[in-house]
Amino acid sequence: MSPTVLDIADLSSGYGEAIVLRNVSLSIRPGEIFALLGKNGMGKSTLLKTVLGFLPAKRGRIKLFGEDVTALPTHLIARKAIAYTPQEQTLFQDLTVEDNLRLGLRDDRGFAEGLARVSEYFPIVGKRLSQKAGTLSGGEQKMLIVSRALLGSPRLMMIDEISEGLQPSMIQRLTEILLAERKRTGTAIFVVEQNVPFAFSMADRYAVLKIGEIADDGVAGDELAAARVQDQLRV
């Protein structure tokens, strides 16, 4: 097994001629929860999209499970036991909850088993399989997005700003679910967030992205680090 699930070295990326990320390096180990923190516009989502091949790397290297995927197209990267929950809405509003869940798998094998597992975490998802996704509340739709990501038992989950707009009780429940899934399956989780308390409540390590560069990193269990990161996100 590779010593890292995700290894990013000296990565630069952006849109057209505009450079957004500059020489970013970070790594995530098997079973680790890693938080990338930063304000809007700092390049957090750009980093995830570059890892997934939606944006080309202008320099540097990306490895998934020890394999160099820097130049691979998105559809090949997506086959490597990873799941991505983007910040923007990704549900098919006119399809049912069940149809949206099935889109998280390459085929129907394992659907029943995966549905049973995610229904333990989100009972409402299992109870509303025939309901159209667009009729769910905002919080329920986020439950569905996370359930779809979990359905295929990924080795790496990449979660972009999932806490945005959620009530504190739902954020707490989501924290418990992600920690339980990590314990249950050994899934590594890459959390991209602005919500420092949420990220630090479950992360093992963190990094702060500021204007496209890593400005700080360390162990997430450090209370002084949490306060320092909060201060960095205020300015």
Q: What is the pLDDT of residue 110?
A: 82
81 token code pair: 């036991």
Q: What is the pLDDT of residue 235?
A: 64
Domain ranges of the chain: 1-81+191-235
Q: Is CATH 3.30.565.10 the classification given to domain 1-81+191-235?
A: no
Indicate the angle between helix axes 168-185 and 138-151, nearest 10 degrees: 10
Q: What is the pLDDT of residue 1?
A: 55
Q: CA-CA distance, 201 to 208, in Å (whole number)?
A: 16
Q: CA-CA distance, 112 to 171, in Å (whole number)?
A: 27
DSSP 71: T
Q: CA-CA distance, 43 to 21, in Å (whole number)?
A: 6
pLDDT digits (tens, 9 = 90+) for 219-229: 998 788 888 99
Counting Cβ atoms within 10 Å, is residue 194 exposed (0-12), middle (13-18) or buried (19+)?
Answer: middle
Counting as low any pLDDT under 70, the low residues of the chain are 1-2, 89, 235
DSSP 3-state of 10:
strand
Q: What is the pLDDT of residue 174?
A: 93
pTM, two decimal places = 0.92
Q: What is the pLDDT of residue 102?
A: 92
Q: What is the pLDDT of residue 90?
A: 79
